Amino acid sequence: MIYLKKADKSPTTGEEDTRRIVQDMLAKIENGGEDMAREYAENLDKWTGDIIVTSEEITAAGERLSQRARDDIHFAYDRVKKFAEAQLASMQEFETELSPGLIAGQKLIPVHTAGCYVPGGRYAHIASAIMSVTTAKVAGVKNVIACSPTRGSEGVHPSILYAAGLAGADTILALGGVQGIAAMAFGLFSGHPADVLVGPGNRFVAEAKRILYGRVGIDMFAGPTEIAVIADETADPDIVASDLISQAEHGFDSPAWLISMSEEIAEQVIERIKSCIARLSEPNKAAAENAWRDYGEVIIAETREEAVKQSDIYAPEHLEVHTKDLEWWLAELSNYGSLFLGEETTVTYGDKASGPNHILPTKGAARYSGGLSVGKFIKTVTWQRMNREANRDVGAVSARISRAEGMEGHALAGDDRLHKYFPDEQFELKAS
């Protein structure tokens, strides 16, 4: 394996400084409540208006959009909803008799309240409103709170408001950053503390979710967006370069990785990167330029098996495969947030409108976690019931195991039932 380009920084660069800033903000907001959240909104986003967006404001936002813009949002919404509905249909409740008289089952229960963060600072993440709110509503969440940063005195971007309203958000907060995450977690302004927090965001938003995890559920540990492309000799270097830079424009800390089995293709991609960046205007251009300089990597793999191994080490958020024999790659690759097979699809489609969710794990979390799905909003819980006859075996075994563990109280709970249900019988209740 050969590096044609090695990154100077990693996705974890600067984490400690971010953590200190976010911890301080969360503590102040928890103690200061809504007043402190408003103070951060004013100081950081120059917003002094109402935090809760009214239904009239949502309607007005939609009226400000063109018919084409509204149609496009509906197009994306329909596909995201259909995919989420298919996910829900794949989940099921069941009950089964494990032994005579012992029946156990699985039940799917949506959480009560979900908090959906929708980035809206540098870019208006219209699709994130659709991806998060729609999925929560399909899962059956009764109370969905969305929040998004304001743009100075203009408030939340009208397209975000329209999309969140269409998707079914029950409350929309004009609040971004750490203060938005804190407001949803602590139930500020809405009166409904979130059971789970979801949605993409910058490193401060991601760190706030990480710190709050445990007090609330989160979709996944996530940070700046990532893309990896696997390319063989059949790949189009212009398309590969374009796709890498399309994600690098997210921010200065967005990794973009190329793994190629063809040194010629890899070198051509590197050559074309500069012209791809040059097509962008500011601030996108500077973001992509810095991201590629500091976080971009190009690796030459001798075999496709080596490429798979390296890709699985990266465990990228987005993974594109520009190769022959796509079915082989689908079967062999394991660690990714979402997989894009063939030149004809791209992360851009997945990010905006094709259907599968674009809220995905980063920083290697794809080794153990998938992206946002209806399952993130649903608790898979178990239940059981037994008749008295079933206690004969289960009770005795449980008592003996409890005593073997040294847990006499547990054992007695089994003993008491056996003595009550079978008073004339003797049981072997001592540990073996």
Catalytic residues: 317-318
How far CA 22 is from CA of 213, 309, 424, in Å, comes to 13, 35, 65
The secondary structure element, H or E, covering residue 382 is strand 378-386
Rg (CA), the chain: 26
CA distance 258 to 236: 13
The secondary structure element, H or E, covering residue 298 is strand 297-300
CA distance 252 to 249: 8
How big is the CA angle at 10 (ends 267 and 299), to the nearest 5 degrees? 25
Tokens of 366: 């794809």
CA distance 407 to 409: 6
- Nearest CA to 203 out of 252, 151, 258, 249 is that of 252
Interacting residues of 217 by C-beta distance below 8 A, sequence separation 6+: 111, 195, 196, 197, 376
- Nearest CA to 163 out of 54, 75, 45 is that of 75
φ, ψ (nearest 5 deg) of residue 106: -125, 135
How far CA 101 is from CA of 92, 107, 248, 385, 413, in Å, comes to 23, 19, 59, 8, 19
- Residue 101: which region, alpha, beta or left (left: phi > 0; alpha: psi -120 to 50)? left
3-state secondary structure of 313: helix
Tokens of 357: 């969710």
How far CA 52 is from CA of 17, 48, 173, in Å, comes to 31, 12, 5
